[in-house]
Amino acid sequence: MHFTESDIAALLTAFPGFRRRPTSQCKVAVLAGRLRFEASAPGKPTIADEYRIRVEFSLDPTIALPKVFEDDKRIPAVAENHVNPSGDLCLGSPLKVMQVLGPKPTLIDFVEKCVVPFLYAASWRERGLPGLPFDELAHGAQGLVHDYERLFSVVGASKVATTLQLLGKRKRVANKRPCPCSCGRRLARCTMHVRLAPFRELAPRPFYVEQAKNVLDWIRNTAPPRPSVPTVDLQPLDKRERSRANTKGSPPLISRLK
């Protein structure tokens, strides 16, 4: 993902409520201001609202998505509202956001297709409207896994992690590995490789390596603890006990339980 000065100029023209803020960080741009919108969802009412937001992103090519902050604190900073602990808004799983933006994203697309729908849902909740305007995932890694299950058509966090790991490898290497759909064939021999091909165009391999690591970390942190195995103190048998224990047809015993 790479945003340029021309992307910034286009965004400031399309959204005149934004201004560019100075920053001491090298190769980082910060845009902030009032974002006014009027939006609706299929079968849902139109909502007109505005929020004071801040968008921070790198001017260098990166696998990281822009970070968006809601500066008026109208949206309570809790997981149920999809606000990360660092205060930035969780606009969806990273891969889903990239899929929405396409292979050549622009800042205008990012605001219109990702930020505005998030704020529309926030205004919906704030007004106490019934239900939800969109299908919402659980916040955090659990929602990330569920979204990737849908995108890849696999079931289970381990299958998601395996699929991400394959996308993080060169295609010719990944095609020789077992397919994560559990068909028993190599990836190249399964239609799964056709399903994964568009994802290779969306993001570079390091992005998928990082996502796989996040899923594996979540699996390790949420796995139930292994039951403890009691330790046994063994003592050697004396001569009489060895003679009694080594009967015909029985394996020789060389120790006893304390």
Kindly list the domain boundaries of the chain, sorted by start residue: 5-126, 141-222
- How far is residue 151's CA from residue 74's CA, in Å, rounded to a whole number? 32
Sign of CA dihedral 101, 107, 112, 116: positive
The DSSP letter of residue 186 is B
> 95 and 211 in contact (C-beta within 8 Å)?
yes
Q: Residue 201, class by beta-carbon neighbours within 10 Å (0-12 exposed, 13-18 middle, 19+ buried)? A: exposed
Tell me the C-alpha to C-alpha distance, in Å, between residue 142 and each of 28, 54, 98, 157, 209: 30, 27, 19, 9, 18
Digitized pLDDT (tens) for each residue of the chain, 258 residues in all: 788 899 999 999 999 999 999 888 888 899 999 999 999 888 888 999 999 999 999 888 887 889 999 999 999 888 788 888 889 998 888 888 888 888 888 999 999 999 999 999 999 888 888 777 776 666 677 788 888 898 898 988 899 999 999 999 999 999 999 999 888 899 999 999 898 999 998 888 998 999 999 889 888 887 565 555 555 455 555 556 556 655 555 455 444 444
pLDDT computed for residue 110 by the predictor: 93
- How far is residue 25's CA from residue 90's CA, in Å, rounded to a whole number? 23
pLDDT computed for residue 181 by the predictor: 87
- How far is residue 30's CA from residue 20's CA, in Å, rounded to a whole number? 6
Q: Residue 68, class by beta-carbon neighbours within 10 Å (0-12 exposed, 13-18 middle, 19+ buried)? A: buried
pLDDT computed for residue 254 by the predictor: 45
Closest of 63, 2, 67 to residue 30, by C-alpha: 67
Q: Around 108, how many Cα atoms within 13 Å sit in the side-chain half-sphere? A: 11
- How far is residue 197's CA from residue 83's CA, in Å, rounded to a whole number? 32
* Coil vs helix vs strand at 74: coil
Closest of 140, 117, 96 to residue 42, by C-alpha: 117
pLDDT computed for residue 253 by the predictor: 45
Q: What is the pTM of this model?
A: 0.74
The structure tokens listed for 230 are 């009691």
Highest CATH level, class, for 5-126: alpha beta
Residue with tokens 């933006």: 101
- How long a stretch of residues is the chain? 258
Distance of CA 230 to the CA centre of its chain: 39
List CB contacts of 253: < 8 A, sequence separation 6 or more: 237, 241, 242, 245, 246
